[in-house]
Amino acid sequence: METKGTIEQALVQLDRTIQGYNYTQETKRKYRIAISNLSMYIETCNESDFVRDMLEPYQSTLRSKQYSNQYQKLQLRIVFLVREFLATGAIEGVRNNHKRKICISNKNFLLQFNESVAYLDFGNKTTSARVYSQVIRKFCTMLSSEGIDTFPELDIQILNRIVRNFAKTHPGSMDQVIRSLRQFLGFLHAKGLCTEFRMDPAVYRVPNRSRTIPCFTRSEVQKMLDCCNQGNEMDCRICAILLIALTTGLRACDIATLQRQDIDWKNSTIAIRQHKTGKRVELPLLPRVGNAIAKYILFFRGETGPEMDEVFLQHLRKTVPIQGGAIRSQFRRLCNKAGMEQKAGRGFHGLRRSAATWLSEVDMDPHEISLFLGHSSFSSVNKYIATNPEMARCTLGFEGIPLKSEVYHG
């Protein structure tokens, strides 16, 4: 039978189990938040409430609120793991949502794989190391299924066949697959274990899945701002966040970590190091945006100690800095309130795309837009300004151009 004590015990055990896994710090932090939310909910319940299943109303609350998909799934998963502990006394399913590590049965393959990881020395590039490990482990198991026991037996026909299989199962990440295979095969060639292979791009080329995602129009943004009556903390906060995103192009994660010392009120600038790229950017603080931030800080934020210097806070059962996921959820509710049409790709990140598109409409150079947004590569800006309607009107059709032998000529 579940009691407040047994559920609290399960949450403590769950937290210890997760901290022992080789998860990233960000993943551990998200689990810790989900555990803390359930723990705070249980604290509000009395022992007399446990005559029925107290986790059921918590689940119903999670499903009824308009949380983001990722946030809701993680919260529900915590409930599932607590139930598992109450039923079995252990937590076994914590890694069910994660890919199982592929085991390399061939000892020679395993030896060369381990040596290649040490030789390539990924260092702090944990994502690159993880992708490389998954691809090469799968590559080695495919070699074994082809009847290959040593790397000198590998030829271009077998390699092409394996690459085609990768293209079927990894159509959206073939660039990462090919890069990992080239690194591994280059390592093997340097050791004299295989010949030098030149892979034909036609073998692994997959259909281009890129799509043009529409940004928000000025009238849609104004409709959302009109819905922020600014009569309460939530409206005032989301209004300030919305204006920051539109005028600076900052991501939700960067706005969430924005601190008061990052704002230079005297020079009207915001200086912040981006979470994704690590680049430090200095962006203009327009008067309207500054006034919205100041109004939130003066009337709704409240006083906190130096350990909590983030600009935007959430006042729940306790005061905590707002998270990027909460910003996205509140923005989604604002869109619903404003009657925005639901379109794929038009989430909070669409405001960043809108900022880039509007800058292109005032003839700002794409390289300048890329620097403004803090992109790690200049080519990254292309997908942000592809929806500029004025630029689309500049394209010409082939009407009136004569056709001869299936070749257009003037």
CATH number at residue 141: 1.10.150
pLDDT tens-digit map of 70-115: 777 888 888 888 877 777 776 665 544 444 567 788 888 989 999 9
Cβ pair 70, 325 in contact under 8 A: yes
- Domain assignment of residue 407, yes or no: no
- The number of folded domains in the chain is 3
Do residue 245 and residue 373 come from a single domain?
A: yes
Cβ pair 101, 137 in contact under 8 A: yes
Domain containing 312 equals 218-392
Residue 257, helix vs strand vs coil:
coil
Q: What is the DSSP string of 133-168?
A: HHHHHHHHHHHHHTT--SGGG--HHHHHHHHHHHHH
Cβ pair 228, 296 in contact under 8 A: no
Do residue 54 and residue 165 come from a single domain?
A: no
Do residue 82 and residue 33 come from a single domain?
A: yes
Do residue 142 and residue 199 come from a single domain?
A: yes
- Domain assignment of residue 248, yes or no: yes
Please identify, among 178, 204, 230, the residue that sits at the C-terminal boundary of a domain: 204
Do residue 190 and residue 236 come from a single domain?
A: no
Q: What pLDDT score does 96 carry? A: 43
Alpha helices in 249-300 (DSSP H): 252-256, 287-296
Please identify, among 27, 60, 95, the residue that sits at the C-terminal boundary of a domain: 95
The DSSP call for residue 118 is H
Q: Please name which of 328, 357, 161, 113 lies closest in space to residue 249, comparing C-alpha atoms.
A: 357
Do residue 196 and residue 296 come from a single domain?
A: no
Do residue 254 and residue 316 come from a single domain?
A: yes
217/343 Cα distance (integer angstroms): 13
How many angstroms separate the most distant Cα atoms in the chain?
86
Q: Quickly tell me which residue has 């986790």 as its tokens.
A: 55
Do residue 157 and residue 254 come from a single domain?
A: no
Q: What pLDDT score does 76 carry? A: 82
Residue 272 pLDDT class (50, 70, 90 cuts): very high
- Domain assignment of residue 410, yes or no: no
- Domain assignment of residue 195, yes or no: yes
Structure tokens at 116: 């290649």
- Domain assignment of residue 399, yes or no: no
Please identify, among 176, 204, 232, the residue that sits at the C-terminal boundary of a domain: 204
pLDDT tens-digit map of 342-396: 777 778 988 888 888 888 887 788 788 888 888 777 666 766 665 555 555 554 4
Q: Quickly tell me which residue has 């008061």 as its tokens.
A: 260
Q: Find the distance separating the first CA and the last CA of the chain, reported in whole Å.
A: 84
335/10 Cα distance (integer angstroms): 38
Do residue 338 and residue 359 come from a single domain?
A: yes
pLDDT tens-digit map of 162-189: 888 888 777 777 888 888 999 999 999 9
| β-sheet bridge partners, residue 321 | 313
- Domain assignment of residue 406, yes or no: no
Do residue 49 and residue 73 come from a single domain?
A: yes
Do residue 257 and residue 331 come from a single domain?
A: yes
Q: What pLDDT score does 292 carry? A: 93
Q: Please name which of 198, 168, 187, 176 lies closest in space to residue 132, comparing C-alpha atoms.
A: 176
Q: What pLDDT score does 51 carry? A: 46
CATH of the domain at 257: 1.10.443.10
Do residue 120 and residue 180 come from a single domain?
A: yes
- Phi/psi of residue 56, nearest 5 degrees: -65, -50
- Phi/psi of residue 403, nearest 5 degrees: -110, 125
Q: Please name which of 241, 218, 249 lies closest in space to residue 380, comparing C-alpha atoms.
A: 249
- Across the range 53-67, mean pLDDT stands at 74
- Across the range 119-138, mean pLDDT stands at 84
Q: What pLDDT score does 3 carry? A: 66
Average pLDDT of the chain, as a whole number:
80
- Domain assignment of residue 403, yes or no: no
- Domain assignment of residue 34, yes or no: yes
- Across the range 260-265, mean pLDDT stands at 94
